[in-house]
Amino acid sequence: MAEPSTGALAVTGVLASVGLGAAFPELDLATLVGSFGGSFFYVVFARDMSTWRRIGYLLTGWIGGYFGAAEVMGRAWTQTAGFSAFVCGVLCVVTFSGLLEWMQTGRMPTWLQWVFRLRARKEG
């Protein structure tokens, strides 16, 4: 069962998305909610993180997911904004948190090592 603070954060995020959509009608509500869901998904399942760091990742993924979905839709890779925003929100947080960790610790993230091995196999 989720912690009460996690549930409150989820409700607050969805309400903030709806509020932003009402205040700025040119924003796509499905994209706002989808990008929040993607970044929230990562933040909930991440371990050993301070509250401020979680909030920072949540906001970064939310904004990155929204703009990433616009890019994906612009390239016509998908036809639905909500799910593409969800995926972009998750990828944004995973990618940039991994790169930040790499810069701080000097240890390359496992997912990036996998990408490099995959590219080396294709070239070789």
CB distance 64 to 17 below 8 Å: no
- CA 70 from chain centre, in angstroms, equals 14
Spatial distance between the Cα atoms of 71 and 103, rounded to a whole number of angstroms: 27
Rg (CA), the chain: 16
Model pLDDT for residues 67-94, shown as the tens digit of each residue: 999 888 888 888 888 889 999 899 888 8
Indicate the pTM of the whole model. 0.73
Q: What are phi and psi of 94, to 5 degrees?
A: -65, -45
